[in-house]
Structure 1
């Protein structure tokens, strides 16, 4: 038995190299995990973080027994300054840059390549070799990013091909950006380099593993601070670590004086229980904090009611399809003018046209942005939440200097709609708060009469959000920008659409606008295994969309017809008709509506219309 154990130890393969990966975006994390799974010589943990956020991740894991840290670009350079662990940079290859250029070829406006020398040197080489006429701008520090982007914007550039920090800054400045992502070959080369380097480094940290493993396997977290407040050790990897640090630093002096403390703190919505003491090592004292955490049951959200602060609203907007594709660009001038007045705002448009995102950006630019945005979705309001809004002393209607967004107001029943208007007027809600309302309507219709009552009574400024079909020539640009975002989180890097596939997208009517467009692009990306999305996939998916939309419209009109029949005998004959169409379109709508109201009975419908069944059948062909 003992002999078998000795033979087993002799035949045991070397310990895998422990690598801490810090990726600036989700797609790189997925590729790193996929490549690592195919190798038995590395053990990878990977997190997402760029520049300073990446440095924070590295600091939290410095004492986690990693042999090598792998990151990219400026993040790798910054990490190298704060750790003794070897840092390997994932180099951007010529092929990585070529993929981004191919993705940008659908973009109609002027664009450039911008980045640190690691990007631009290869970009110059590639453009010279392939004779691409693309302007290239080199930066050498993070401080140059915003200044250079502002200058490019002033010169008429509308998009940049860039690294992660430039990508984020460009979008904050209202420019489009395509991230130059790292391919499998670049990441695989970094892994190979890590294995070679680690063979001469692995034994140095072996003596620290024992006690670190004991702490990490504990049922609660451990965080050790030096006398200057810097982290010496941490087994806590949650995103709130550095919010937590401010609390612990305030207690550090008492702990270092030899006081054993036990206390609770609510930090960022999480309740922490702390036990603290002081431990000395080589004549130096350290503050040791043992703690556990649990969520705090905060009642910040009720049915149909949501509270957001400025940061949350901005994050929700900047991460939305509406922001990623710069679809809000046409609204910027309107939003700037709106901010100069205190009048309430009525956002109108078809379903999925971006009304909620428009409300968020209006809030984030307003004078009330330091106070909460209270979003009330009228389509989700139930009896309990309605009673809270109208009768409770903590109702948002009783507070001041907030932004209140009442979305989809026409979803309320008639009696509640009248009560809501009365409350807004009687309590002077619009004088005390910034009020934003929204309403939806179908193609070919205008603002519903119920919503117009609010517009007229409250003197609302109306802002119409155009449907996607009015911007059909921008679909290639919108799709390219969103595909670049999808590539962040997918291992399969999609370059674009086949020409026939793009034409199909441009020909489709998009009844649910940006919401539908985003969903379709996500589904196409999911089923695509080639660099270009194929026309047959687009055709199949759009046919399914047409079928679903038609079924939805029939059910909606049937429901409306049933409601009208139940209202009164006179009301059943009333139906709003949009006259801004051809006679043939108006006639067809009347015929189909009459047929639906008669349960599909063609004889009854023909009699109601005063025409023969043959004439009716000819219209229905």
Structure 2
């Protein structure tokens, strides 16, 4: 039996491999999700656990081949895969290009010519060319990039829409055939490797091997259990110990603090590698914990992926122009708009455009931040401690009046270095300021620069582009055959008012994507989902009108009367909606 680990870079391929694994009898397939360096880490561990072969895809497969000694099978991109994605992006209104290695671009270029698709192809020979190539394409007006995982990730970092070429079942079957051929060649070698690996894994002492570039090339079972290899490699103490051993070519012993424990490490030079033997020291240690601040109310980000704000409408283009304008200075920015309309995404965009080095992006969720937590932050001098970063006060209008005044005092007492503030609220904030429910001085201080994001129903031109973007993002996540949406179905979606705005649209597209069993989302499917959505909205509106301050019996009576009213006093229909029979309803109405 061939023991193979499949490391896939996206969720859709993960699900497809799981299905194929149930159909294969001569290969024991273990499927793991991991891309690039994460995939390499999984592969290294797999090599130590006796796997015969690793199956992966694209850039992840190439990196794994450099990191392990067992065979690595690459799931090739087939012509079917390219054709599926080209069909998917045909509905995009924006300028698109295919960027990748020759195994992708040669076949793609031929298919584009045969089917008369207006999509140019660009070939790269090394990973390091990707960013430069995509930057040039962006300057030439390209907005959509089709390629492998590495290309798509680089595209998104540059603010382009990246569309992943996913692998179909045909490519998986071919990879499994290659696995069988390769296993026959390497089986004897694999048996020898497993023997020596078993000997080392029986040793309870953690043993690792690091090369001169400070990269871990091997760790036994105890080593992998105790340490996370990336953190260990980044340890300054470990680096110094390796350098000293490499220079002197002599055994060294040093006590190092790793993962809240002290370890006695003995190094032994072996050709181009250093063998490390770990022995735990000082077992009774206290781990210092953080303060009392509820971390659910605070998020720290030292980096954030760039997610472009999609839309061709005049309104959203105006928002993008204002974002660029406000990103050139450090004055406070106030973002207003309805729920689900991308206020946090706008804040992220401003932060990334202002960012020069490693300044943090700190989100304070004002809707769950308590008065005690705010006082703790003030007492710890939290805001001055992170004065080099950007602080985003999300839903600032949810703060009570006392907290608003305390926050104003923080702004008023700012020291030499001014904090960078970005805040968000609903679009009724100015009315709240006028009627006194929001502290005017705080508003005037933070609302020096304003951005209003109009609701989706006022910029329906953006809906088509958003739908195609969402479908392209869902394709690698679920891996099904959906490549687009029918025009009549798109018209239904465009005509809907979307009270939950972009976030609600995204959720609905995901629901349609999952339940669709053909290549295109159909009109009848959209009508069913939107009808259910309208009913949910009506139910929410009805519940909002019910007074819950009374007794349970009084609340029940309000619900029954409301349902009866909506059903035109028809008791049979009302009882059915309430999930009770007519006699029970009649008894409750007495």
TM bin, normalised by shorter chain, reads 0.7 to 0.9
Q: 1:143 aligns with which of 111, 122, 128?
A: 128
1:309 aligns with 2:296: no
For residues 311 and 478 of structure 2, what CA distance do their matches in structure 1 show?
19
Which piece of structure 1 moves more, 246-255 or 530-539?
246-255
Q: Which residue of 1 aligns with 2:383?
A: 396
Secondary structure (helix, strand or coil) at the match of 1:387 reads helix
In structure 1, the partner of 2:484 is: 496
Shift of residue 209, structure 1, vs aligned partner: 1.7
| Separation of aligned partners in 1, 2:451 and 2:228 | 39
Residues 482-517 of structure 1 deviation map (CA, whole Å, 9 limit, x = unaligned) = 222222222423212233322221111111112212
**Residue 65 (structure 1) aligned with residue 47 (structure 2):** no
Q: Residue 385 of structure 1: which of 373, 386, 389 is its match?
A: 373
Shifted more, 109-118 versus 326-335: the winner is 326-335
Residue 6 of structure 2 aligns to a residue whose secondary structure is strand
CA distance in 2, matches of 1:168, 1:456: 40
Q: 2:404 aligns with which of 398, 409, 417?
A: 417
Structure 2 match to 1:365: 353
After TM superposition, give the deviation of residue 346 of structure 1 in Å: 0.8
The unaligned stretches of length 5 or more in structure 1 are 1-15, 563-595, 601-621
Taking the aligned partners of 1:378 and 1:553, their CA distance within structure 2 comes to: 25
Q: Distance in 2 between matches of 1:371 and 1:479?
A: 33
| CA distance in 1: counterparts of 2:407 and 2:549, whole angstroms | 26
Show the counterpart of 1:172: 157
Q: Could you say which residue in structure 2 is the equivalent of 1:265?
A: 258
Shift of 1:190: 0.4
Match of 2:571 in 1: none
Query: How has the CA–CA distance of structure 1 residues 540 and 211 changed in structure 2, closer, same or farther, with 3 Å as cutoff?
Result: same
SS in 2 for 1:264: strand
Which deviates the most, 401-410 or 198-207?
A: 401-410
Q: How does 1:242-261 map to 2 (within 5 A)?
A: 242-247=230-235, 248-252=238-242, 257-258=250-251
Residues 1:388 and 1:199: Cα distance change in structure 2 (over 3 Å)? same
Aligned residues of 2:109 and 2:120 also touching (Cα < 8 A): no
DSSP 3-state at the match of 1:351: coil
Q: 1:250: Cα distance to partner?
A: 3.0
Partner of 1:90: 75
SS at 1:432 equivalent: coil
Length-normalised TM-score, structure 1: 0.75
Distance 1:352 1:154, change over 3 A: same
Give deviations 1:424-483, integer Å, cap 9, x for gaps: 4531379620112211137xx966435582443455211112222233223222122222
Q: Which residue of 1 aligns with 2:3?
A: 18
1:196 maps to: 181
Give the TM-score of the pair, scaled to structure 2: 0.79
1:34 matched to 2:22: no
CA distance in 2: counterparts of 1:559 and 1:410, whole angstroms? 24
> Partner of 2:92: helix, strand, or coil?
coil
Q: Say which is worse superposed, 492-501 or 114-123, in terms of deviation.
A: 492-501
- Tell me the residue number matched to 2:340: 352
CA displacement 1:150-203 (0-9 Å, x = unmatched)? 332233222122121111111222221211111111012101111122113211
- Contact 1:325 1:482 (8 Å CA) reproduced: no
Give 5+ residue unaligned stretches, structure 2. 551-561, 567-590
CA drift at 1:79: 4.0
Distance in 2 separating the partners of 1:29 and 1:134: 29
Matched, 1:440 2:433: no
Cα deviations by residue, 1:395-442 (Å, 9 ceiling, x for unpaired): 436763332222212212334334433x14531379620112211137
Match of 2:554 in 1: none
| Cα distance in 2 for residues equivalent to 1:430 and 1:554 | 52
- Aligned partners of 2:302 and 2:361 also within 8 Å: yes
- After superposition, residues 318-337 of structure 1 pair within 5 angstroms as 318=307, 331-337=319-325
3-state SS, counterpart of residue 479 of structure 1: helix
- Within a 5 Å distance, the mapping from 1:198-237 to structure 2 comes to 198-213=183-198, 216=201, 222-226=207-211, 229-235=214-220, 236=224
Distance 1:272 1:71, change over 3 A: farther
Q: Aligned-residue CA RMSD in angstroms? A: 3.9
1:250-306 Cα distance to aligned partner (Å, 9 max, x none): 33467885555554324xxxx455353356889986222367999975459616631
1:157/1:529 Cα in 2 relative to 1: closer, same or farther (>3 Å)?
same
- Partner Cα separation in structure 1 for residue 85 and residue 412 of structure 2: 57
Q: Which moved more, 1:86-95 or 1:525-534?
A: 525-534
User: Helix, strand or coil for the counterpart of 1:224?
Assistant: strand
Between 255-264 and 395-404, the greater mean CA deviation after superposition: 255-264
CA distance in 2, matches of 1:57, 1:131: 42
Q: 1:534 to 1:121 in 2, by over 3 A?
A: same
Contact 2:209 2:273 in 1 (8 A): no
Q: Tell me the distance in 1 between the aligned counterparts of 2:157 and 2:526.
A: 32
User: Comparing 528-537 with 214-223, which one deviates more in the overlay?
Assistant: 214-223
Change (3 A) 1:35 1:44: same
What is the CA–CA distance in structure 1 between the aligned matches of 2:16 and 2:226, rounded to whole Å? 23
Aligned partners of 1:511, 1:283: CA distance in 2, in Å? Answer: 63
Aligned counterpart, 1:460: 448
> Is the contact made by 2:342 and 2:502 (CA closer than 8 Å) also made in structure 1?
yes
When residues 252 and 61 of structure 1 are mapped into structure 2, their CA distance, relative to the original with a 3 A threshold, is farther
| Residues 191 and 283 (structure 1), Cα distance of their counterparts in 2 relative to 1, 3 Å cut | closer
Identify the residue that residue 515 of structure 1 maps to in structure 2.
503
